[in-house]
Amino acid sequence: MKIVLIIEDERPLLMALSSKLSHAGFSILQATDGETGLSTAMDAHPDLILLDIVLPKMDGLTMLDMLRRDDWGKTVPVIVLTNLSDAAKFEESMRKNVFDYLIKTDWKIEDVVIKVKEKLQLHDA
Amino acid sequence: MEVQKEVPTPNPLTSAKPALNNKRVSPAGMKIINSVIFAAATGIAVSFFVTGGYIWIFVFIACVFFLSNKDAMNWTLLLVAALFIFVGFHSLGLLLLPYSSETIFNFFLSLLIFTGSMLFFQYKKERQEKLLKGKVEYLKNERVVEGFLQKRALELERTKIAMTKMTKDVLEERDRLEKEKAKATAILQSIGEGLFATGLDGNVILINSVAKELLELKEDVLGKLVHKAFVLYDEEGNIVPDEKWPINIALKTAGEINNTYVFIRKDGKKISFNITATPIKQRNQVIGAIGVVRDITKEREVDRMKTEFISLASHQLRTPLSAIKWFTEMLIAGDAGALNPEQSDFAKNIGDSTERMIDLVNSLLNISRIESGRIIISPEPTELKKLVESIATELRVKFNQKKQVFILSAHDSLPKINIDPRLITQVYLNLLTNAIKYSPEGGEITVIISRKDEEIISQVSDNGYGIPKDQQVKVFKKFFRAENAVKMETDGTGLGLYLIKAIVESSKGKIWFQSEEGKGTTFWFSLPVAGVTPKKGEVTLDSSSS
């Protein structure tokens, strides 16, 4: 079973994503701040990370920086899932080898699940 | 001040003309002549009777003639007198023949003494008269000189008074000018904006305290070349070369220039400021330039805060919206168990409203981005036909829902144009969404793309409800929705056309329309074949269809 780590500080969203992804057959790990998210990722080595940008303690892009310094973290697929439609943030994420930059309100949760599946299948292949 | 005209005053000392310029013989001369004439006439009369010579009658007449002629008189008198004397003597000789020589001698002697004494007295008298006259003349002259001097003194006195008055006036004028200058300097110094001026050579001739403080300059900047006074950076952080300095451009082109620059203070703090440089002209000749420096660091700061606020607000608004969106979706999908038809309908309504709310947030964000001019324009060669095809594919479901026909016609050999496809997609998307919304079922929606001169014209038309004539002027206004549109479709923010107008204009194009209520609406927008130049910015647009 593929493990997906969701780093999201908004509990309702965390709940919705966890529920939808577990229904879709993924094993879910949760973190509500950047620091916990980073340590969970390092410990559990999930197959994919869904990452928010605005996070307490450590923001998503800083966490991503730290993650990409790690040998394992360098290649782990990350999908940024945020509500910040800021070009600078988008470009920065892309430089940090992010698979996708999704604006939450523009995406149906179903489509997010499809995106995750797509990414993991691609990764498997 | 009255200027006294200098009138040459006649000098009485030199202007006294000698009174001897008449040609008349002096009175003394006349007396002598008269005496001689008298003596001669006597001789003539006597000899006339004695000799009985008729010739004397002629001589007498000639004499009268010559004496009556003033001009001939002087020269002829002597001759005539000599003749008379000669003839007189001749006659006298004839008369005196019977007398002794002693008697003749006594006669001549007495005649001589008589004539001599007469001449002497005459001479004395004349001399006295002359002296007297000279004295009178002298006194007269003296009086004239005195009068002249007095007049001069008076004039000098008057001049002195006038000069004193003039000096006073000049001093007062100087005071007034000094006060004016002080006032002008005070105004310039107290102006809230920085200000400096240069001569034609580019040397600083004036700088106010705000400019000095802002640019960390001292008084010694005066007389120096402005571009040597401090280092100016452009917004990208490059040093502005001398010839690109706003003042130098204003001096060279004689036109106004306005630009934003950056200055790095000694403490390392960067300040952004705007310089407006204007040439100073006198009789159409550029004689210098004036620069107004405005600190816009605070404005920039406020702008940055606004951006942050929008970013934060959008995040804050979108977070609960995404939760509502996703949970509604999950409810409808039956993730929490199957819904009965009524529950499903309710949930769909929640979903639709949420989508409208998301749309509104996106539109507001887009408008704030467009208005702040921070929108990124990244053009790439785009085939408009393909762009519209892909948009139409996205909208296929909506067309089908209303059984509307979509027709796309693009002229052959249209060039690819350099535009930002994301921005232009918003334009087509908005126009097409409006056409779908405001056309009845079974309507026809057409897009025609053609080239006209150096522009590509896109035409989007429908045979829908149209826009009421009296409301057409407000079509591109923010938050405007036509009355008939509001009645038919509650969904809509009134921001779509406002936004796309801004997009088209930022892409150097134009947008216009024609509409008739009940018949339909056609929108046209143009884009330059030459394309759009890229623009650095901070934000892109979010997808919105309102």
Higher pLDDT, A67 or A84: A67
pTM listed for this prediction: 0.49
B380 or B541: which leads in pLDDT: B380
Residue B163: per-residue pLDDT: 92
Give the pLDDT band of residue B81 (cuts 50, 70, 90): low
CA distance B37 to B277: 107
Instruction: Tell me the two tokens of residue B515.
Output: 């509409």
Contact, B437 vs B491, CB < 8 A?
Answer: yes
Identify all chain B residues contacting A8, using CB atoms and an 8 Å cutoff.
none
Is A78 in a helix, a strand, or coil?
strand
Interface mutation target, options A85, A93, A111, chain B, most CBs of B under 10 Å: A85
CA-wise closest residue to B197 among B222, B233, B234, B228: B222
CA–CA separation, A24 and B28 (whole Å): 162
**Predicted pLDDT of residue B84:** 67
B319–chain A Cβ distance below 8 A for any pair: yes
pLDDT at B426: 84
CA distance B353 to B346: 11
Q: What is the tally of helices (H) and strands (E) in chain A? A: 5, 5
Smallest Cβ–Cβ distance between A23 and the set B327, B335, B538 belongs to B335
Enumerate residues 6+ apart whose C-beta is below 8 A from B371.
Answer: B502
* ipTM, two decimals: 0.85
Under 8 Å CB-to-CB from B519, ≥6 apart: which residues?
B463, B466
> Is the CB of B538 less than 8 angstroms away from the CB of A86?
yes
**Residue B280 and residue B539: Cα distance in Å, rounded?**
40
Contacts of A23 in chain B (CB under 8 A): 335
Question: Quick one: how many helices (H) and strands (E) in chain B?
Answer: 14, 12
Please state, rounded to an integer, the average pLDDT across all residues of chain B.
78
Is the confidence at residue B18, as pLDDT, over 50? Answer: no
Two tokens, residue B356: 């409208």
- Does A83 contact B538 at a Cβ distance shorter than 8 Å? no
Instruction: Identify all chain A residues contacting B361, using CB atoms and an 8 Å cutoff.
Output: 105
pLDDT of B543 = 57
Residue to substitute from B310, B319, B363, interface A, most A β-carbons within 10 A: B319
Residue A6: what pLDDT? 92
What whole-number distance in Å separates Cα of residue B99 and Cα of residue B94? 10
Contact B435, B459 (CB under 8 A): no
Contact A105 B537 (CB under 8 A): no
Classify B222 as helix, strand or coil.
coil
Would you place residue B324 in the very low, low, confident or very high pLDDT band (cuts 50, 70, 90)? very high
Instruction: Please name the residue of chain A whose CA is at the shortest distance from the CA of residue B376.
Output: A87
Confidence of residue B212 (pLDDT cuts 50, 70, 90): confident
Residue B457 CB partners (closer than 8 Å, separation 6+)? B449, B450, B451, B524, B525, B526
Instruction: Tell me the chain B residues in contact with residue A20 when contact means C-beta distances shorter than 8 Å.
Output: 326, 330, 335
Considering CB atoms only, which of A23, A87, A105 is closest to B325? A105
Give the A-side interface with B, CB within 8 Å.
Answer: 10, 12-13, 16-17, 19-20, 23, 54, 82-88, 90, 103-106, 108-110
Contact B75, B116 (CB under 8 A): no
Grouping H, G, I as helix, E, B as strand and the rest as coil, residue B406 is strand
What the block records as the tokens of B182 is 């002080």
Interface check B376 vs A, CB under 8 A: yes
- Position A107 pLDDT exceeds 50: yes
Q: Measuring CA to CA, which residue among A90, A88, A73 is closest to residue A5?
A: A73
Residue from B271, B217, B226 nearest B245 by CA: B226
Cross-chain CB nearest to A110 (options B333, B538, B543): B333
**Which residues are within 8 A (CB) of B322 and not within 5 positions of it... i.e. 6 or more apart?**
A13, A83, A104, A105
Q: Which residue of A has its CA nearest to B543?
A: A106
Decide if B539 and A110 are in contact by the 8 Å CB cutoff: no
Contacting residues of A for B538, CB less than 8 Å apart: 86-88
Please tell me the distance in Å from A72's CA to the nearest CA on chain B: 31
pLDDT tier at B104, thresholds 50, 70, 90: low
Contacts of B304 in chain A (CB under 8 A): none
Q: Note whether A83 contacts B319, CB cutoff 8 Å.
A: yes
The 3 state secondary structure assigned to B424-457 is HHHHHHHHHHHHHHCCCCCCEEEEEEEEECCEEE
Q: Minimum mean pLDDT among A30-44, A66-80, B52-66, B105-119: which range?
A: B52-66
Residues in B closer than 8 angstroms to A114, CB to CB, are: none
Place of tokens 């909506």: B398
B439 to each of B116, B351, B390, B489, B520, how far by Cα in Å? Answer: 152, 24, 21, 11, 8
**Residue B14 pLDDT class (50, 70, 90 cuts):** very low
pLDDT tier for residue B161 given thresholds of 50, 70 and 90: very high
CB contact under 8 A, A16 and B538: no
d(CA B435, CA B445): 7
| Whether pLDDT at B90 is above 80 | no
Most confident of B166-180, B231-245, B379-393, B530-544: B166-180
Most confident of B66-80, B158-172, B207-221, B285-299: B158-172
Q: Is the pLDDT of residue A110 over 80?
A: yes
Q: Do A13 and B314 touch (CB under 8 A)?
A: no
d(CA B519, nearest CA chain A) in Å: 35
Q: Which of A52, A56, A13, A48 is nearest to A28 (CA)?
A: A48
Q: Which residue has the higher pLDDT, A91 or B259?
A: B259
For position B154, what pLDDT does the model report?
92
Distance, in Å, from the CA atom of B348 to the CA atom of B329, rounded to the nearest integer, reads 8
Q: Is B332 on the interface with A (CB under 8 A)?
A: no
Tell me whether B325 touches chain A (CB under 8 Å): yes
> What pLDDT digit, counting tens, does each position of B394-446 carry?
888 888 888 888 888 888 788 888 888 888 888 898 899 888 888 888 888 99
Q: Identify which of B315, B539, B543 has the shortest CB distance to residue A83.
A: B315
Please name the residues in contact with B293: beta carbons below 8 A apart, sequence gap of 6 or more: B193, B194, B195, B196, B210, B211, B214, B215, B273, B274, B275
Question: What tens digit of pLDDT does each residue of A4-58 get?
Answer: 999 998 888 898 899 888 888 888 999 888 889 888 988 888 988 999 888 888 8
Quote the Cα angle for B281-B282-B288, to 5°: 45
The neighbouring-strand residues paired with B198 are B204, B289
Judged against a pLDDT cut of 60, whether residue B331 lies above it is answered with yes
- Higher-pLDDT residue of B155, B253: B155
Nearest to B532 by CA among B409, B459, B412, B427: B427
